[in-house]
Structure 1
């Protein structure tokens, strides 16, 4: 995706260590000042997992944060309340909006380094 999507390629190239990239459902409020790349075509397209898979293939991810609203158990994933999650989105370099229409289908990816 980033190799064929010029806006994402530029954002990923400029991203520093611990920079944040959010992959979001179509309903997540995006704070003023945070870049938005809206990939949604219609409800469900592209899917959250499709976008996540492609972004993870182009970005070294050191850590992941999700809202505890998902109520699943994960390892090496930070969890926070949905309200805290929305506040954390304001620290992101970009929000990549998918067509996913399921509540809480959002993730913050914290950039890592290749070494």
Structure 2
């Protein structure tokens, strides 16, 4: 049995396989997942696991170069936007796009991690960096 880090085998595999520029999405339970994109479904019930808890775990293992969020998160879900930006910190730039453009970008990601989050626009695309 694995002692530390991500215990979900599918998520651990995807994180280990990421190369520079690859992307994954941490998503609420309502984001449509494009056909052909791997779905890592962690959702148990509304709110479990939360978007923020899932993002913390992923950020503990993934080198993130930059991120993308829907600009609609700011008026609709200010607390989650602030929590996300605080977790990403000032060294990870966040680009804001329309929600429609965000959904288009999800067509080219390696995987979507579906959480139980049930609040508006609780989604982020994380682009992999390198550790050297």
1:85 alignment partner, one of 96, 102, 110: 102
SS in 2 for 1:29: coil
Scaled by the length of structure 2, the TM-score of the pair is 0.82
SS in 2 for 1:90: helix
Q: Partners of 1:102 and 1:59 in 2: how far apart?
A: 24
1:99 alignment partner, one of 111, 116, 126: 116
SS in 2 for 1:85: helix
Q: Partners of 1:107 and 1:31 in 2: how far apart?
A: 15
SS in 2 for 1:16: coil
Unpaired runs of 5+ residues, structure 2, are none
Structure with the higher fraction of residues in helix conformation = 2
Q: Partners of 2:14 and 2:102 in 1: how far apart?
A: 21
Q: Partners of 2:5 and 2:128 in 1: how far apart?
A: 15
Aligned length: 115
Contact 1:15 1:111 in 2 (8 A): yes
Name the structure 2 match of 1:51. Answer: 54
Aligned-CA RMSD value = 1.7
Q: Measured at CA, do residues 3 and 70 of structure 1 come closer, stay the same or move farther in structure 2, by a change above 3 Å?
A: closer
Q: Partners of 2:5 and 2:104 in 1: how far apart?
A: 26
1:26 equivalent in alignment to 2:18: no
Unpaired runs of 5+ residues, structure 1, are none
- How far did residue 3 of structure 1 move? 3.4
- How far did residue 22 of structure 1 move? 0.1
Scaled by the length of structure 1, the TM-score of the pair is 0.93
